[in-house]
Structure 1
Amino acid sequence: MTTDNALVRGRAAVLATPNLDTDQIMPKQFLRGIDKSGLAPGLLYDLRFDGAGQPRADFVLNQPAFAGVDVLIAGANYGCGSSREHAVWGMQQYGFKAVVASSFGEIFYSNALNNRLLLAMVAEDDVQAFVAEAAAQPGPLALTIDVQQRMVRSPGRSAGFVLSDRHQRMFLEGLDVIGVSLSHADQIRAFADQHWAAQPWVKDVARRTRERLSAATGG
């Protein structure tokens, strides 16, 4: 995949199963770590591997022609279920940069966009057209996602997708949710200064309380 923030060009695989929940995207046994790392092996584990831990040859991501795909064309309500953000992190660590579907689980949608995993929500008719186009060729479907124009384009079809102004800005400017907050640092600082000037008795109250307790106990 290539991207200049405004344009995302990638190779897409189809996983058209509807209602694929976050427990299936990132199973619970891969949530043992205390950071975001090491999640790629767990992505869609029960679909990629059988009970003996062997790759399922018929699963699309295990097929040699689809090695390195970075866009997923998914079924409706993709990412429903629990709120685990690991599902988003795992997709990104595996290499996915975008998902195209007609609908997404609400919390997954928010988690994804806040982490800059692009979700393009198009009409179901457009999803089915992309699926049919992908099925007519032996390998991944070439897709371009235009963030500025909010369009998904394949060789045979163009479809508009929904994206809020805030999330569009995040992708165009290369920002995650923390970066957006920091872009308002001057206003945040000015508000804090005004707040502490008006109510100085509540500034650093926890630190000052600890210092008084420590002095009183000789600690």
Structure 2
Amino acid sequence: MEKFTTLTAVAAPMPLINIDTDMIIPKQFLKTIKRSGLGVNLFHEMRFEEDGSENKDFVLNQNAYRNAEILVAGDNFGCGSSREHAPWALKDFGIKCIISTSFADIFYNNSFKNGILPIIVSEENHAKLMDDASRGSNATLTIDLENQVIKGPDGGEISFELDPFKKKCLIEGLDDIGLSMAKIDNVQKFEDKMANDRPWV
């Protein structure tokens, strides 16, 4: 998993509340178990018209936000079903950080496991960041994970709280497999002991 330390990127404003996982990646695109390739279908029903053309009003189709790596989203982002395809699609599209006042629990935890940083802020700070994100090509935020600070385009700073273990995993680029591999010596010692003590197993 890619390490997350500091990110400076365009932030796209998505003030809609209760964006669920089916809106993030609709059910018809869940046929794959690969983490790659889902980005083209991210927010499919909002990004595209029925004829397949782009919806020009959707924020990620606007020139200023096509390469956004940060979303400033409405309350209760990632609610609905527990599909892990949702963070897969966001990551594959290029989204590395989502800022909201709240997240659905399963989506929140799945995001960390897939290298996405979800940040919870107060309503007051959320309003400031949404305003920052509405500035088009000037909507650049810096996320300093080590110091747990969001820096706005005007130099203002907003602190955020984060579980120390989740922070460590992102900074070191450790997903569940990476965490297991970090203990591979202990795993091998256990396997060797089992083979010696119970050779019939």
CA RMSD after TM alignment: 2.0
The CA deviation string for residues 15-73 of structure 1, in whole angstroms up to 9 with x for no partner, is 11111000100001111224223211210011111223221111111111222111111
Larger CA Rg, structure 1 vs 2? 1
Match in the other structure for 1:155: 153
Whether the 8 Å contact between 1:152 and 1:158 is mirrored in structure 2 is: yes
Name the CA shift for 1:33/1:148 in 2 (closer, same or farther; >3 Å): same
Q: Does 1:143 align with 2:109?
A: no
Q: In 1, Cα distance between the equivalents of 2:33 and 2:172?
A: 29
Whether the 8 Å contact between 1:69 and 1:140 is mirrored in structure 2 is: no
Match in the other structure for 1:40: 39
Match in the other structure for 2:10: 11
User: Any stretches of 5+ residues in structure 1 without a counterpart?
Assistant: 204-219
Match in the other structure for 1:167: 166
Q: C-alpha displacement at 1:194, in angstroms?
A: 4.3
- Equivalent pairs counted in the alignment come to 199
Moved over 6 A (4+): none
Q: In 1, Cα distance between the equivalents of 2:76 and 2:159?
A: 18
Match in the other structure for 1:24: 23
Match in the other structure for 1:91: 90
Name the CA shift for 1:133/1:38 in 2 (closer, same or farther; >3 Å): closer
Q: In 1, Cα distance between the equivalents of 2:176 and 2:33?
A: 21
Whether the 8 Å contact between 2:111 and 2:117 is mirrored in structure 1 is: yes
Q: In 2, Cα distance between the equivalents of 1:193 and 1:81?
A: 44
TM-score by length of 1: 0.83
SS in 2 for 1:139: helix
User: Any stretches of 5+ residues in structure 2 without a counterpart?
Assistant: none
Identity %: 36
Q: Does 1:52 align with 2:48?
A: no
The CA deviation string for residues 81-124 of structure 1, in whole angstroms up to 9 with x for no partner, is 11111111111111111111111111111111011111122222
TM-score by length of 2: 0.89
